[in-house]
């Protein structure tokens, strides 16, 4: 979906930087770019911000989190 919108998912590094500017995902979670080796095994990464800390987790892409949003980057 992100590529159809013309954007790229944030990498973990970009996601952590975004959180340092202004915390988001304090009550939600967002998919972030996942390394190809993990995607090949049907896994995916997502992150959130809790307790003043950025957390990155993993889950299967077919999990019940299928409707989770994502964070993207648009370069102009």
The CA–CA distances, whole Å, from 5 to 1, 2, 27, 42 equal 6, 5, 25, 23
Model confidence at 70, pLDDT cuts 50, 70, 90, reads confident
Residue 3 pLDDT = 74
User: For residue 56, how far is the Cα from the chain centroid?
Assistant: 8
Residue 6 pLDDT = 80
Model confidence at 36, pLDDT cuts 50, 70, 90, reads very high
Rounded mean pLDDT of 16-45? 92
For the entire predicted model, the pTM comes to: 0.83
Residue 65 pLDDT = 59
Rounded mean pLDDT of 42-71? 83
């Amino acid at each position: 979906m992100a590529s159809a919108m013309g954007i790229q998912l944030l990498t973990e590094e970009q996601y952590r930087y975004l959180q340092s500017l202004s915390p988001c995902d304090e009550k939600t979670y967002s998919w972030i770019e996942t390394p190809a080796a993990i995607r090949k095994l049907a896994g995916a990464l997502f992150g959130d911000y809790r307790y003043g800390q950025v957390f990155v987790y993993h889950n299967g892409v077919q999990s019940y989190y299928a409707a989770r949003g994502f964070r993207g980057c648009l370069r102009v």
